[in-house]
Amino acid sequence: MAVLQTISVLAALMAQLISCAAFDVNSQSNFIAYWGQSSAGSQKSLGDYCKDSSVDAIALAFLYQFPNTKLDFSSNCRSTFPGSDLLHCPDIAADIKYCQSQGKAVLLSMGGAAGAYGFGSDSEAQTYANTVWDMFLGGSGSQRPFDDAVLDGIDLDIEGGSTAGYAAYVAQLRSHFEASSDKSYYITGAPQCPFPDAMLGSTLNSAWFDMVFVQFYNNFCGLDAYPQGFNYEQWDAWAKSQSANKNVKLYIGAPGSQSAAGRGYVDASKINSIVSDIRGKYSSFGGVMTWDASQAFDSSSWGQSVSSGLKSGGAQKRAMDPYSGKLISTRAANVT
């Protein structure tokens, strides 16, 4: 009886470990959502979205002002440190830890469509990278908005201001990453789909990014232009020939509902069809990013449907066709 009980406990623990597997940056079936701006008019807590197995990673939006640090997460955090306007968010901190316990990666997104941000020089950018390391990542700043919660990386959603300093900023952050052996950290970017991106183009060429969430909406090259005007192929060519990281993963950035963007929304059936086509052709594909969690999950099942399509599609294996000499793709079912 004792042996059977031990086996039962071990089986339960194994099942839990499998269900909470760590985020896999090399997967082709990740579903990543931005959270924090209540773009649908309201939003659940960060922890509530992390209860959903559809979500693999979340980007907190936004650190909207820097190098004079200011954060905004709508109504989910209003308290500040005494004598400061810097947000102090213990509830979000607890949710970050919960999300990570469920195998989700949690990033902090810098920038956004509205904000006062940018660097005047490489030196200023490097100094601010040290600040970010101490405030949000593996450092030890005196004021940490998320207390002892340690984020998994930084996302650059740069849509205004100067283009200066971002490559130096990424390089300085990576120097901290390399000196720390306690966990993996990621750098991601969210350019607009017109290539090259006006704000991040030069940085994407010179700095090491792990994932790039291309915003295929609000532009002529978006999902609503598929297939003729949809320019994923151009981004794939960049990833394999110009990117500092030739194994960088590209994500199809998609609005989570009709109201999430001015143009570019497509329903779940359509985007699943597009994903099937793109994943079959391009090894750079990493998954789908959505703006934002409140739009994708709260008013419909769009997010669950897209994530389910990603995960049921399986992993791509690429081999050489002995007759044509071209790479072909095969799919192993239910492998992520």
What type of residue is 323? Answer: Y
Find how far residue 95's CA is from the centre of its chain: 17
Question: Do residues 216 and 230 touch, judged by C-beta distance below 8 A?
Answer: yes
Task: Given the residues 124, 159, 178, 233, select the one marked as catalytic.
Answer: 159
In this structure, are residues 288 and 251 in contact, taking their beta carbons and an 8 Å threshold? yes
- Catalytic-residue membership of 159: yes
Cβ contact 152:186 at 8 Å: yes
- Residues 210 and 109: their CA atoms lie apart, in Å, by 14
- What does the H/E/C string look like for 210-260? CEEEEECCCCCCCHHHCCCCCCHHHHHHHHHHCCCCCCCEEEEEEECCHHH
* Distance from C-alpha of 222 to C-alpha of 226, rounded to nearest angstrom: 7
Which residues are designated catalytic?
Answer: 159
